[in-house]
Chains A and B, each alone.
Chain A
């Protein structure tokens, strides 16, 4: 009986067009959209710095030390910072700026100044360079005035480029904040299982459908029916997650780290919790099937929103304001599992997340069965 119901449930699910679209096709479309929206930012290693085009306007008495520094920075080598165009006068430089051929104008005066258009990265670099030059210039003049014997040591020290910060990574992995969107997408697909879970309940409850009435009068034991349908729903949902993974990893080349088996385990647990949550929500109350569909939709989308599907920083915001939500939100648990697998070398956080998901799924399943056991209805 179990395999008979299981087999036909799998067949049914693969013939429901809406299910095929929303569970299999839509996540791939959404993942593709994410990729084309954020994908180039994920490949930050390909970023190459281009020298900033500037114009140099020299006064009648140019600042020779400053122009020497500029010439050094304008030389064509690995450390080239600027591409310098020498303007004969201010009007020529302004015209170049207006025509967007340069990002800023540097005035070689006693106190160098800069004129930029806009607020971009290049403009910030130009302004930062001028500020740093002026700071160092003042500092060296002060040392030369007050401690001339230390001037040589000071110049040597400044040349060494000592950093007072050291970057220490938590793990050997590299991670960027935009991967969170893909984790949330996987969580969404897992939670789409709630719709098949709900559909199961509708098809076995006499007060929700004629099919349910027909099945309730059959000699098939309710526990067997629920289990068989549940397993079939989990299988189909897990297959949709696998397909999404295949697409993201093989086609879009999104990096999820190397712990593939544990990632698959997370996805399976996510599918279980998705289907069981739909089954539980469908078992609640005496509402119509349409009301229950709306409830499942609302709960799924809220969970996904709170896990960062629509706004990257949402999960972090919740963690700081109401962390308990992240501990019980299935979508947040799934994304956290994927994040911890990618970020950390230890498994403590992953194991605790999986354990919470397992307990939640178990309780939801038990709750569903206890509610669905009620075999007689006040009205149909």
Chain B
């Protein structure tokens, strides 16, 4: 049984000389939350707009629910919910009216639509704001309303394009919790962002994108395993000699040891308990040390290793 919800094959989109999407491939299985991670200008939004048949593209094949996606694929569109990067609401309609309007484009049954709208308002916790107009809402509440308008009709596929941009932390957490909840209720989700923390938090699988290309694909752990660095240890140490540094480099799984400004930075590739081994060495050699902390690799490290640049500008 074909469980593929979205299939993008060899997608190419050019804007004159600029190749915005460069032979991009993506496969989304039912029930997944797929994170599309990349810096600004990497082609995430362009890819989504091609997927939704808003943009023409030069080459490639796009299928949704096993069928070719076209502008008049109304049978497919009724099962898709979209939350675009820009807030898309009517300023002259209230919160309730906005959600009801957009839900009404998908659900024609009045009674069912009313039920869905009430559930959507409750879902994004805008019950007390239902009669407010958008201009009276904060940025975070606007984003929540934006999401409610995109998911009220309970779609099977939800596409969220950077839904937490310029949002306060409380609203951001609410949004992320809500997305996990939607997934639990059966929705398949594509989530794009340039915030690696969000993607790591909610996505079951991540595609790293830059310059229109699919650079890496896998779970967060799989991606981190791809890079050399598995752990970075920071220790404040006074009076460390070159001999000490050379000896630390000889420890198991240590591939780099640097000392400057009274701080020892040790990088390890694989292994466990690396911190204990380094601290044992310092203790055994009567080397006093202060503050200690260890960092696991982030997706930024993965991105840095693949592309040579930071994920965020």
Contact = CB atoms under 8 A, between A and B. Distances in A.
B210 to A, nearest CB: 20
Interface in A1-50: 1, 4-5, 8, 11-13, 15-16
Given A210-B86, A218-B105, A219-B78, A12 B93 contact: yes
Interface in A365-380: 375-380
Given A11-B92, A16-B92, A217-B77, A377 B104 contact: no
B97 A375 contact: no
B54 A216 contact: yes
Contacts of B89: 211
Contacts of B49: 213, 380
Contacts of B102: 214, 218
Most B C-beta atoms less than 10 A away, residue of A15, A217, A378: A217
A377 B87 contact: no
Contacts of B77: 217-219
A253 interface: no
A377 B77 CA distance: 18
B80 A217 contact: yes
Contacts of B106: 218-219
Given A15-B93, A376-B71, A378-B55, A8 B101 contact: yes
Interface in B171-215: none
B121 interface: no
Contacts of B55: 376-380
Nearest to B100: A8
A379 B86 CA distance: 15
B299 interface: no
User: Which size class do B's interface residues fall under?
Assistant: 20 to 34
A15 B74 CA distance: 31
B189 to A, nearest CB: 16
Interface string A118-148: 0000000000000000000000000000000
Contact of B88 (A12, A210, A220, A378): A210
Interface residues of A, number: 28
Contact of B105 (A11, A213, A215): A215
Main secondary structure of the interface of B (DSSP, over half): loop
B84 interface: yes
A376 B69 CA distance: 12
A203 B268 CA distance: 55
B53 A376 contact: yes
Contacts of A115: none
Given A11-B93, A211-B89, A217 B54 contact: yes
Contacts of A213: 49, 54, 84, 86, 88
B17 interface: no
A308 B91 CA distance: 37
A293 to B, nearest CB: 17
Given A214-B88, A219-B106, A376 B149 contact: no
A7 B78 CA distance: 21
Contacts of A376: 53-56, 71
A377 to B, nearest CB: 6
A89 B94 CA distance: 85
Given A12-B93, A210-B86, A211-B89, A217 B104 contact: no
Contacts of A217: 52-54, 77, 80, 82
A5 B97 CA distance: 12
A209 B84 CA distance: 11
B90 A209 contact: no
Interface in B4-23: 15
B53 A1 contact: no
Nearest to B110: A4
A234 B86 CA distance: 30
Given A211-B88, A214-B88, A376-B56, A219 B105 contact: yes
A215 B77 CA distance: 11
Contacts of B75: 219
B302 to A, nearest CB: 30
A212 to B, nearest CB: 8
Interface in B232-276: none
A1 B93 contact: no
B56 A377 contact: yes
B284 interface: no
A16 to B, nearest CB: 5
Most A C-beta atoms less than 10 A away, residue of B15, B92, B102: B92
Interface string A234-265: 00000000000000000000000000000000
A98 interface: no
A79 interface: no
B97 A11 contact: yes
Contacts of B92: 11-13, 15-16
B108 interface: yes
B56 A378 contact: yes
Interface string B119-157: 000000000000000000000000000000110000000
Contacts of A377: 54-56
B313 interface: no
A287 B108 CA distance: 34
A211 B91 CA distance: 11
A206 interface: yes
Given A210-B87, A210-B88, A220 B97 contact: no
Given A11-B97, A213-B54, A217-B82, A375 B88 contact: no
Contacts of B149: 214
A197 B233 CA distance: 64
A220 B153 CA distance: 13
23 contacts: A1-B105, A1-B108, A4-B104, A5-B104, A8-B97, A12-B90, A12-B93, A13-B92, A15-B92, A15-B93, A206-B54, A209-B88, A210-B84, A210-B86, A210-B87, A215-B105, A217-B80, A218-B102, A219-B78, A219-B105, A376-B55, A378-B55, A380-B54
Interface of A: 1, 4-5, 8, 11-13, 15-16, 206, 209-211, 213-221, 375-380
Given A12-B90, A378-B56, 5 more contacts: A8-B93, A8-B101, A210-B88, A379-B15, A380-B55
